Amino acid sequence: MPSYYLPETFNVGETVRLSADETAHALRVMRLEPGERLTLLNGCGGRAAAVLLDDGPTCKIREASCRIESTETVPRPQLSIVLYVAPPRNKNMDTVLKSATELGVARIVPVICRYAVSRPDASAAASWSQTLVTAMKQSGNPWLPELNAPIAFSDALSASDGDGFFGAVPREDDLRTSSLPYTPSRLSLWVGPEGGFSLEEEQALRIKGLIPLTVGPWILRVETAVTALLGSLLTQFH
């Protein structure tokens, strides 16, 4: 059943209206008809089963209405992961955002590192938000990741706590498994740009208490590193 984003509180029996974008998708892409069922996600753990109402001729409907038939609240993931990532170029950042959403990251912080290949502006942020919503609907994850504005590395590090890992260029002394003396409820994961963290940045991460983490011995693209390291963390600390 297709999912639609509606950032509201859901109550059984209520009639709600889809946004213009979601209406276009429901009526003109998916060609849903009155009486058909759809799933609503509010991005805050709320999921509702709804039925499309009859608003008259399809071509005139700007905001389709539907009636909520049942609701549930999906609990937050037990492990809350904050992803600090140096945005890769163009479409590759979309891959990062989609993976992070599918894998249930709580918050994404785009970080401007010394070797940044991309310095995103406000228009990038708008398109990123849209990518997150699309990924949320496709993956069925009812928790929309929070997306912060891009921030300089040193500011991001100052504002963060030190429980977590950073993606490191593979070296002998770095960890392949991410052992921690406790089961964390929140973790951060830092992934640097294509050129890697600078020496100063890496030192600052270590001083903060973040632990180097690698998957395999080879150089990973940013989007591979994000997904593989999230896979590693979710396996270790689920």
- The only residue of 23, 99, 118, 160 in contact with a copy of itself, by rule CB under 8 A: 99
Residue 125 binds a copy of itself, judged by CB under 8 A: no
CB nearer to a copy of itself: give 30 or 207: 30
- The only residue of 38, 112, 191, 229 in contact with a copy of itself, by rule CB under 8 A: 229
Residue 44 binds a copy of itself, judged by CB under 8 A: no
- Which region among 12-20, 54-62, 122-130, 138-146 touches a copy of itself (by CB under 8 A)? 138-146
- Which region among 5-13, 19-27, 31-39, 214-222 touches a copy of itself (by CB under 8 A)? 214-222
- The only residue of 42, 131, 141, 160 in contact with a copy of itself, by rule CB under 8 A: 141
CB nearer to a copy of itself: give 35 or 217: 217
- Three-state DSSP string of the chain: CCEEECCCCCCCCCEEECCHHHHHHHHHHCCCCCCCEEEEECCECEEEEEEECCCCCHHHCCCCEEEEEEEEECCCCCCEEEEEECCCCHHHHHHHHHHHHHCCCCEEEEEECCCCCCCCCHHHHHHHHHHHHHHHHHHCCCECCEECCCEEHHHHHHHCCCCEEEECCCCCCCECCCCCCCCCCEEEEEECCCCCCCHHHHHHHHHHCCEEECCCCCCCCHHHHHHHHHHHHHHHCC
Residue 108 binds a copy of itself, judged by CB under 8 A: no
Please report how close the Cβ of residue 152 comes to a copy of itself at its closest, in angstroms: 28
- Residues at the interface with a copy of itself (CB under 8 A): 77, 95, 98-99, 102-104, 138-141, 176-178, 215-221, 223-224, 227-232, 234-236, 238
